[in-house]
Chain A
Amino acid sequence: MNEIAVDKGALGLTVQQLLDENCRLATTVCLDQGDYFEVLYYFHRDLDLVTLRVKVGKDEELPSISGLHLPAALIENEMKEFFGINITDIAIDFQGRMLLTEASLQKPMLKNNANRMEG
């Protein structure tokens, strides 16, 4: 499996290069690393995988790749909802209400929300 560390500013360009090589997004994984998020983008290259690893500060914006690749929209909404990561310009933006409701614990996947889950 190929893995590429990418600066968030170069994310769109790198994704476009992969799409030009007939890759497609399999999924993304968001990790709460304390003072920053780590986002892994897994792309199918036929049956193989290519991984892009992007670091984003918790107060920074991450540009959506759904403008380049529409299937990314749902998983980006999920990351935004579960982690509070500020993904901008999602092609179909559910405004934080794709899976969670107003009554739900917000940003439930953040590590500091673990104790509230215990209650």
Chain B
Amino acid sequence: MSRITFPFGPQHPVLPEGIQLSLTCEDEKVVEVRPVIGYMHRGIEKAAERNPYPNNVFLCERICGICSFIHALSYCQLVEELMKVEVPPRARYLRVVWSELSRMHSHLLWLGLLADSFGFESLFMQCWRARETVLDILEMTTGQRVIQSSCIVGGVRRDINADQARQVREMLNKVKTEIDAVLPVFQKDYTIKARTVGKGVLPKGQAWTLGAVGPMLRASGWAWDCRSLGYAAYGELGFEPVVENGGDSYARTMVRARELVQSYELVLRALDSMPEGELAVKVKGAPPAGEAIMRTEQPRGELFEYARGNGTQQLERLKIRTPTFANLPALLAMLPGCEIADVPVIVLSIDPCIACTER
């Protein structure tokens, strides 16, 4: 049978950002895939070597507009590890609140995009309407909807007072009502199941050996989540990873759907158990000569950061490995054998973030 190779992307309705997959097909079946990336590379690791280390918080949170807060958090925790800084307990809890609100709006965004990818426009709108309320909470508590700028090396720069905490609970309960209305549709709707069940299957063994992280890995049966490491206040909040066993696009949808509810509960638990106290400690001096690594759980999976200090205000090296970078080999393994019509949903099912990937 003759083969044809054609580009999927970099501009495509299911791709919010630029990435190309060069698909080789026989008839309607994909037989080979090659990624073509580089449309969004910004040289952030190089730029980070030139800034005084506190300024890199603002650089890192601009790696991506969806998981902005956790990028800032990871960098702050990385430098705190390097400089042996102990963050006040209240700041650790506030970091969890904003991290989980970020995960909620990211997963709601993704669920909406998934619905949109097969033309379920009313479901798309309902997901994004719920997401707006989460963004409103972020705006109310940090002053910003997208780039929160609330994390600093040594703690956080804003507090959530009792009145705001009451408002957050009320707004989150409204979000929960909206989530409860849409999640059964994702679980049971015939069309959604027809487009996702058995599509882009990633078996458990392959998910591990191909380096998959985040909901990709957990949908293939792995209880593997960096929040289990207990960073920030996760160790005190009774966190357990969400796991599904199907390994297909439906299982990945269910992991994100269940994590949405889990994040809602984590925010409430963090607000309820947040201790009183300082928001930040004063960090003096420069990062010493030495190395540190930090791993956090982004909505898309493990974010891995490495820093090397040299005793000056500038880091000698900052390395950032984002979750979509780790998930690309698994995507390339899932596509061969699928129908061309299923490519958009399978690509979307990894929740690709290209701005993160290319930095």
Contacts and interface: CB of A to CB of B under 8 A. Distances in A.
B288 interface: no
Interface in B5-60: 34, 37-38, 41, 43, 45-46, 49-50
B235 to A, nearest CB: 13
Q: Which of A29, A92, A108, A118 has the most CB atoms of chain B within a 10 A radius of its CB?
A: A29
B293 A75 contact: no
Contacts, number: 68
A98 interface: yes
Given A70-B210, A71-B211, A27 B319 contact: yes
A13 interface: no
Given A31-B308, A71-B211, A100-B41, A117 B319 contact: no
Contact of A29 (B37, B38, B302, B306): B306
Contacts of B34: 92
A86 to B, nearest CB: 20
Contacts of A49: 293
Contacts of A54: none
A22 B211 CA distance: 12
B88 interface: no
A38 B50 CA distance: 21
Given A26-B304, A74-B328, A99-B358, A109 B46 contact: yes
Interface size class of B (residues with CB under 8 A): 20 to 34
B329 A71 contact: yes
A22 to B, nearest CB: 7
A101 B211 contact: no
Contact of B211 (A24, A46, A98): A24
A100 B49 contact: no
A110 to B, nearest CB: 10
B118 interface: no
> Chain A CB within 10 Å — which of B37, B38, B316 has the most?
B38
Contacts of B177: none
B37 A98 contact: yes
B202 to A, nearest CB: 13
A73 to B, nearest CB: 8
In terms of DSSP, what is the predominant structure of the interface of chain B? mixed
Contacts of A73: 329
A109 B37 CA distance: 19
B50 A47 contact: no
B329 A42 contact: no
A40 B306 contact: yes
B332 to A, nearest CB: 9
Contacts of A25: 211
Interface string A29-64: 101000000001010001101000000000000000
A114 interface: yes
Given A26-B321, A29-B317, A74 B329 contact: yes
11 contacts: A26-B326, A27-B306, A47-B228, A70-B329, A71-B329, A74-B329, A108-B43, A108-B46, A109-B45, A117-B43, A117-B50
B249 to A, nearest CB: 21
Nearest to A51: B293
A108 B46 CA distance: 7
Contacts of B50: 114, 117-118
Given A24-B208, A31-B317, A100-B41, 7 more contacts: A24-B209, A29-B317, A69-B209, A71-B326, A74-B329, A97-B38, A108-B43
Q: Which of A22, A31, A100 has the most CB of B within 10 A?
A: A31
